[in-house]
Chains A and B, each alone.
Chain A
Amino acid sequence: MVEYNHPEDTLPECQSLFQWLCFETVRTAVAADSLLKVSIFRRRNPQIQKRSLALSLRCSPMSRSSGSSSRKRGRPSSKSGATNPLKPPFFKSSPFSDFGSYMTEKNRKLRDQFETDASSSSHGANLAIADGGVSGVDSQGIFKGVAIFVDGFTVPPSQELKIYMLKHGGKFVNYFSRHTVTHIICSNLPDSKRKNLRAFSHGLPVVKPDWIADSIAANTLLSWVPYQLVEHAVTETSKQLKLSAFFSEKGISRSHHQGILIQNETSLSDKCKGESTELTLSGTDNFSQENSQESKHIDTNDELKDVKSESEEDCSTSYVAGKSSDHLNRPHSTLTDPNFVENYFKYSRLHFIGTWRNRYRKRFFNFLSGTGSKNNNPNNDTENLRRIVIHIDMDCFFVSVVIRNFPDLLDKPVAVCHSNNPKGTAEISSANYPARSYGIKAGMFVRDAKARCPHLTIFPYDFSAYEEVADQFYSILHKHCKKVQAVSCDEAFLAVSLSLNDNPENIAEIIRKEIFETTRCTASAGIGENMLLARLATKSAKPNGQCFIPLDKVNEYLDKLPISALPGVGYNVEEKLRMKEVETCGQLRTISKDVLQKDLGSKMGDMLWNYCRGIDHSAVEAVQETKSIGAEVNWGVRFKDSKDSENFLMNLCKEVSLRLHGCGVQGRTITLKVKVRKKGAGEPVKYMGCGDCETISRSLTVPGAINDVGSLHRIAKQTFASFHLDVKEVRGVGLKLSRLELANPSRKGIEESRLELLFSSATRKGKQPVEQSCSTNHSREDAPSGARPSSSSAVSQGSNISELPPLSHIDLDVVRNLPPEIFLEMNGLYKGELRKILESQQQEKEYNSESVERKDCRQQDQEISTRMQRELEPSEASCSKSNYCKSDLMPGSLSQVDFSILENLPDEVRTDILKQLPPHRVENQFPESSKSNLSLGSHSKWFEMLRVQNCLLSEFLLSNATFLTPNISPSSEEWDAIVVNSCEFMKEYIRQKIESDIEELYNCFRLLKRLSSKSSLLLEFYDRTLPLLQASIGEHYGGKLHL
């Protein structure tokens, strides 16, 4: 009850006040699902001595009602205490003694209206509707004997349903009564009604509005059973619902606005709450009002007015109903549907097309492999054959396959889409030619299509039929031609060899005829000298025709052809050419090749130059290599937290892995692509679509090809994590594998053994030493990824292809010191090889130290002396363990100073430098053990030592010359081993330094040269390594070191 007292002085305001009051009350009444009464009375207020007008709208919980517009007119309550002085005569003579009689009268009036509408409706059928009961109805429409009561919001709206009923002999009941109504139509039910269906429906069938639409489409009264709204009836076989709960739910949801509301409500987002606090109404009211307003926004149709005039409360209650039921089960997104990925691809047309090729290849494998031998023969024996290319394309394949069973729909506009919701944002995937004449195109939203062509019939996909027809199609093609290039499931190129007098149109005619007879779908054919002409010809052949462009007509044909018709000419190229005032191929021909190549790039320019002259060198290929395999989802992707995204990635990886297995291949490069909502972009227009997104992708190349879920998931997860994204913003994820190799179990063995080889001598195998690989990675990285651990620094940002560094490039010292989690991850990336290496290294070390001990005895006395020396040395020596990259900035010790400069410096400066520098660095830099076995032990140890100690070989040589001359007799086994080892080491050292520091190499070899005069071992060493050095210098610098 809303009451408002108002001073009478301001009577002009009363009108608007009254309206407001009505509105408010109606809304309240809606919420309470109750009847409302309006009473207007005037009373005298003795205290204020002013007359005031009191308006009172009273809601009484009697029965459901609708039609607020009629309510606004109002009826004075007989119970109101005061009589209304304004209109007493009317109400006194009113025929209604009570509410019941009023309703009876109203129902009668509405029925009369409906009848007159029906008889005047264009349908012209005899639609006499008898008073009262159903039994008396006598009509010829398909809905004869059907009286519907529309409850709540429906698609199509109740007004539209009313018109349908008018046209087809049904009855539309405004007020529910168990006796007059035969079917209750509603799209959604609130939870409470769903639970207590019998009480709500009184045993009458509760049917989805699709029933009516489909019945009209089929022009018979279909059984309502499959269209029951209740969940347990979802096992039906109806067309629309075949797409399972996943997509049929989409049919129910009306618009993305609703989607937002629900989402907001479920996730308790602030947006909605904020709005509700603005209005001093209850939350439900807020929703209903908002929804009803939205319905006006969305409806661009003519029904707009109808909806408005329709009782507001009815509308809004049903919105509430719709909302809660949507809330109940809405598995559209990754949020709710655990099998989202699986379902997504199950119902994706693009996926069907994408995977079709695989199926085709398997099925027609014999044809494909057989082509080679059969093809050669005709080519060889006859020269007067000419090659003709026929391009065959089914006419609006997806539609015509579906409607071949409905011949009466042949010339009516029909489209295929996974949702039949006229307000939905589902995209039309294919439309037939009558529909295209309305401007309906593939990719258009259903609601736009419906706006252009309200009587557009929409069918769901029928994938099994597509497969069947595609198979038939290709069987025919293979029957007539040996060389078939499959473009898609409904499109192919045929290479035909004909003798000169044969008319190529005949064979096309035969093929097309056979296709039509077998599949009952039409196909168009284009015939030309090459693939380009054939394809162009098909365009003018469509629909259901064929076109032959003989060689002498090519120029004529191309002259008028707009450039956008050429394959490969997209928006950008067209725009660029339009700037040059080129719109047809004829005009394009006037431009020289050079100019084209300059403007559009060499490839594109070359292609266009050829194309506008009708030249196309590409040959009809039977089998095309698969370059990459992957899966991408960018519809319905919404994550709440990282767990969701992880699950999703897992599922995606499963899907990709399945596909890889299906094709029997493995991939080496894994590319993860993520669509992220652009900053500031709102919720997309398309319901659950991806909207305005930024796409980021990153790829990773692993050493061994993979196709198992585990590895895929690990890499995908890692890559995904490296994006550092807010998962809530993610709108699409794609995973793709490229660099495919045939999955061959025998290969794997080789791979593994190769890896083992790699690790048995980690440093020897490396193409680049560790430091360099690190630094080159740095320079390769475009975007900063400094936060990442060094092990993964090779993963570059953006589209740059990056790869896992080969195991040989990994600094094992670093690996050893990594935190266990990172190590585990790395180990995972290398499939556990890392651990193996480390273990084997450990063993090697132990072995080495043993052998060292044995050999050490000889040099023990020398060692003792050095040890003593070391003890005497100040501790500063260790300062050279500074950061490697800074070694050039400030010399760590005097030994690093270039004496040639020092000598040339003025005296003061020299003393300055000498003072600043730490004392001379000494031999104790190098642990004795390593020193003694430097030339004897494994070269990798040398190498490691040099790196760890961060010094240069030349310094070492300088300071340790004496140690390098062991007394070993020449050409003994030991001698050989030492030389080989040392050479191996030097090779590695050269490799490491050749790019960055030839000065060091130069010094080394100068020293070696000098030392080699004293030691035959060093001489041999020098002689052996010098050619290598010169070769590398030649390779990198194009010269020889001048030693």
Chain B
Amino acid sequence: MNVVVNKARHPQLANYIHSSIFALLPYIQKGLVERVVVIFYGQDQVPLEKFVFKLTIGQSYQSSVSEAELEFALRAFLVKLNVSETIAKPLPSGANWEITANFRELPSQENEGEEAKLWVPTDTKQWMQPSEITPIKSMDSNPLKLQLYMEHPSVTEQKV
């Protein structure tokens, strides 16, 4: 089924996304990456909105899932992202964004060599209160468990 999945078209943006994800790939394969988060900041560098992709990868799963099936599942997953606009809040002008990854454990510098240097520790400001979570989509096709949810600062924090 030809479900359309949207993709960034600006070459620089596409390149950035691609290279970030590609650099993450070795860690994802090792199962080190727990979450990949796309954070939108306001002008004051305080996160306004986070799209969290939570990954759980079965390392040794003997895949009985065909590539086509997995692709279908991922398409379905991403389509849901398109329609999540209603949950998202309008961003103020001058907003910024970045991709961060939460690791289960820090990769050792020695073993990784060049790749590890591509990533720098983030200095993202944290919200003071627990965030509000709105799940968007969860999929569980055994080698890959993926959950997408949004995080917003809690109501009390927004007022402050």
Interface residue ranges, A against B (CB under 8 Å): 775, 778-779, 781-784, 786, 885-890, 898, 900-901, 904-905, 909, 912-913, 916, 995-1002, 1033-1034, 1037-1042
Contact = CB atoms under 8 A, between A and B. Distances in A.
B59 A1039 contact: no
B129 to A, nearest CB: 9
B1 A904 contact: no
21 contacts: A778-B60, A778-B61, A779-B60, A784-B62, A887-B140, A889-B141, A898-B80, A900-B80, A909-B2, A909-B3, A996-B138, A996-B140, A996-B147, A998-B138, A999-B137, A999-B138, A1033-B133, A1039-B130, A1039-B132, A1041-B133, A1041-B134
Interface string B43-69: 000000000101011111110010001
Contact of A913 (B1, B134, B154): B1
B73 interface: yes
A1040 B60 contact: no
B65 A779 contact: no
A907 to B, nearest CB: 14
Contacts of B140: 885, 887-888, 996-997
Contacts of A913: 1
A775 B1 contact: no
B154 A1037 contact: no
Contact of B142 (A775, A782, A997, A1042): A775
A992 to B, nearest CB: 11
Interface string B23-57: 00000000100000000000000000000101011
A786 B138 contact: no
A888 B62 contact: no
Interface of B: 1-3, 31, 52, 54, 56-62, 65, 69-70, 72-73, 76, 79-80, 82-83, 130-142, 145, 147, 149, 151-152, 154
A209 B134 CA distance: 90
Contacts of A779: 31, 56-61
A103 to B, nearest CB: 79
Contact of B58 (A775, A889, A901): A775
Nearest to A775: B58
Contacts of B70: 889
Nearest to B132: A1042
B63 to A, nearest CB: 10
Contacts of B2: 909
Nearest to A885: B142
A998 B133 contact: yes
Given A885-B140, A889-B141, A1041-B135, A999 B147 contact: yes
A841 B56 CA distance: 34
Contacts of A905: 3
B109 to A, nearest CB: 10
A366 to B, nearest CB: 49
Query: Lowest 6 CB-CB distances: which A-B pairs, in order?
Result: A1039-B131, A885-B142, A999-B138, A1042-B132, A999-B135, A997-B138
Contacts of A887: 140
A1034 B137 CA distance: 18
Contact of B80 (A783, A901, A916, A1042): A901
B72 A784 contact: no
A783 B133 contact: no
A188 to B, nearest CB: 55
A892 B66 CA distance: 17
Given A889-B141, A997-B138, A1042 B79 contact: no
Given A904-B83, A913-B1, A1040 B65 contact: no
B147 A998 contact: yes
B152 A1042 contact: yes
B58 A778 contact: yes
A18 to B, nearest CB: 72
A1038 B72 contact: no
Contacts of A912: 1
A888 B133 contact: no
A1038 B151 CA distance: 10
A1039 B133 contact: yes
A913 to B, nearest CB: 7
